[in-house]
Copies of this chain bind each other. A is one copy, B any other.
């Protein structure tokens, strides 16, 4: 079976990129499931019902999130009831929404999706390694096809998670840095790995934001109001080929399309 995982969708340009590219990719690759990281879908930070609906209408099946999950305040109510959105599983108990879920493809194949967030340079959450084990134990009762979106900053934490889950899940891919990495590989035991999917959003930017503002902030150290950049998009994703009988990945191919 074929899964597509799309890197952090940023703002209007990102949502447009998803719409345009998914149409082609679905036709070309006969995709079974499309997962996108949606933490920056609404104006660059957070998600709204409208932006999520737009992404679902474009062909996304599952939205994963990250450290910006609660930036738009109303998301708390929305995510609680929208089963197609999952937020990092290692938020504390009592957090609205779910950190993993099992989704069914059109051909009725069950796929577990787990969202985790890193702690290095980021928030003080519960241990993502222990949470991965917990979610996995639950999901494995139903299906052996499991993919993980590990939303994290530090390469060490992401690579460590890849090795930790190697042979136990179909794929560990990272998000959050908004820059696609070139280290895709199949780890021993059939686990596809990529440190970061990259970003789907405005290309001529600093990770989605107007570049002049970010440069100015680094130099002046004065607060800036970040705005999503304009201009042509980039589409960053990875295509996974997974054996639907044992959950092992046989290939991971990075995708980069430009406007």
Contacts and interface: CB of A to CB of B under 8 A. Distances in A.
Contacts of A214: 156, 159-160
B219 A129 contact: yes
B179 A180 contact: no
A178 B177 CA distance: 14
Contact of A91 (B91, B123, B215, B221): B221
B178 A179 contact: no
A219 B179 contact: no
A178 B157 CA distance: 12
Given A155-B179, A179-B183, A206 B127 contact: no
Given A124-B120, A159-B206, A223-B70, A218 B129 contact: yes
A250 interface: no
A40 B179 CA distance: 24
A227 to B, nearest CB: 14
A195 B219 contact: no
- By secondary structure, the A interface counts as loop
Nearest to A221: B123
Interface in A234-259: 254, 256
A198 B183 contact: yes
A91 B130 CA distance: 13
Interface string A177-199: 11111110000000000011010
A232 B98 CA distance: 40
Given A156-B214, A163-B211, A220 B181 contact: no
A119 interface: yes
Given A124-B119, A124-B124, A129 B215 contact: yes
25 contacts: A70-B223, A92-B127, A92-B221, A94-B220, A124-B125, A124-B221, A125-B221, A126-B127, A129-B218, A130-B219, A153-B153, A155-B178, A156-B207, A156-B209, A156-B214, A159-B211, A160-B211, A160-B214, A179-B195, A180-B181, A180-B182, A181-B182, A181-B196, A182-B198, A182-B256
